[in-house]
Amino acid sequence: MNLFYTPKINSEIYILDQDESRHCLKVLRLKIGDEIFLTDGKGNLFKCELIEDNPKKCTVKVVDIQKEYEKRDVKIHLAVAPTKNISRFEWFLEKATEIGVDEITPIISEHSERKIIKHERLNKVITAALKQSLKAYHPILNELQKFKEFIDLDFAGEKYIGFCEDNPELLKKIYPKGKDALILIGPEGDFSKKEIQIAKEKGFIPISLGSNRLRTETAAVVACHSINFMNE
C-alpha cells in the first residue's frame, strides 16, 4: 500500500501537491490506472486510482472509502518533556505514532533542559511515521506548555505520572482496560518533588514502568506500548 497524507481532501477528485506528485511518479513509478491510498488523518482511508500523471499535480479519483480505519477503542494522551537531544524526542514521536497514540503534549518542567521546540518540524516527523506505518489517524501535537499550566487541564480518563522515586505501582497492575489514559513523563532530571505532589493533588496516580531505569523517550514509548498492549 502506498499511503499519502492529504488532510484537505473533500471531494471525489483530488490533486496531489508537487512534492507528492513527484514522489508518486519518480520514486514509486506509478502510472495512470494504478492504485494509491490517501488519508485525511481523521480515520478515513481513501482508495484511489491515478487518472492524470502530471509530475507537478497528479490527479486521483476516489473509488472507495473506509471510515474509522483501524480505530482503537481508547484514547492515549502522552505529555512528555522534550529531551535535550531533540533527535531522541523525534524518535519517540515516530515510535509512538507507529504504535498508536492520539495526542502528544510537549511540556516544560522545573528540571527541563530543553525549553524550545520546532513544532512544524516535529509534526512532519509524525506525518512521515503515519505514512510509513499506514495509519489513518494523525496524532495531535500540541504546542509546548508549562507543566503548571498543563496540569490544570481537564481529562476524563485515567491520569498517571511516571517518576523514578518512591517505588510506585506498576502501570500494568493498576490501569483498567478500556479506559482513556493520560500519562506524564518527565525530563532527564525527572519531575521535581513539588511537581509530583501537585500532580497527585490533581488526581494523577504515580506509576512505574518496570524495574529498569529508562530514558525519557524510552519511558514514553514503553507507556504508549503498554496501554495499547493491554487493550488488544
pLDDT at 131: 95
pLDDT at 47: 97
pLDDT at 168: 85
pLDDT at 213: 85
pLDDT at 76: 98
Domains and CATH numbers, the chain: 3-66 (2.40.240.20), 76-230 (3.40.1280.10)
pLDDT at 59: 95
**Closest by alpha carbon to 35, among 2, 70, 10, 69?**
2
Give, for all 232 residues of the chain, the pLDDT tens digit.
889 999 999 899 999 999 999 999 999 999 999 999 999 999 999 999 999 999 899 999 999 999 999 999 999 999 999 999 999 999 999 999 999 999 999 999 999 999 999 999 999 999 999 999 999 999 999 999 999 999 999 999 999 999 877 778 999 999 999 999 999 999 998 999 999 999 999 999 999 998 888 999 999 999 999 999 999 9
Residue type, 162: G
178: its cell numbers: 478500556
